[in-house]
Amino acid sequence: MPEDFDDLLGGIGEGDEGAGMDDLLGGGGDDSGGDSALDDLLSQAGEASDSIDSEGLHAASFPHADEGESHHHDPAQMQELLSDVPVAIRVEFGRRKMKIRDILHLGPGKVVELDRSASDPVHIYCNNKLIGEGEIMVQKDESFCVRITKLYDANNH
């Protein structure tokens, strides 16, 4: 099998700075079997693909949808199947766009104002999709939590 693309081409067109496509493919203006270089190239490419098959690789085959078991699942089974899939939950207090020069001046003690007031609900995201609203709570151990006040349907209503 050729080691690289240049070996595969076998030096076609070497030294012909102004060679046209016909010259590169062996057509070069004469009618003495002008497709021989192209035939050689295609033959070498075929040999290269044959060697892939000889190395133990084969094409994948998949059963058709009408073969085998039915793919209809009970919603309860689907819920059970998906119940252990981890998702990322994010709670957003607010946002602020800033210029880089302002970010470079941030440091301990600086305050960044957000686009919401303290009484506004926070947004709750699941895998970056807005799913609801809530309010920030503080537990007895001083850790934060969120009380869900509204969950959105699939259309975020």
Please name the residue ranges forming H helices in the chain: 5-9, 21-24, 36-54, 75-82, 100-104
Spell out the long-range contacts of 35-39 with Cβ–Cβ below 8 A and sequence spacing 24 or more.
37/10, 37/12
Work out the widest C-alpha separation in the chain, in whole angstroms: 93
Q: Which tens digit of pLDDT belongs to each residue from 78-136?
A: 888 899 999 999 999 999 999 999 999 999 999 999 999 989 999 999 999 999 999 99
| CATH 3.30.350.10 correct for 85-151 | no
CB count in 10 Å sphere of residue 97: 6
Q: Which tens digit of pLDDT belongs to each residue from 29-83?
A: 444 455 676 777 677 666 655 555 556 777 777 766 555 555 677 888 888 889 9
Domain ranges of the chain: 5-54, 85-151
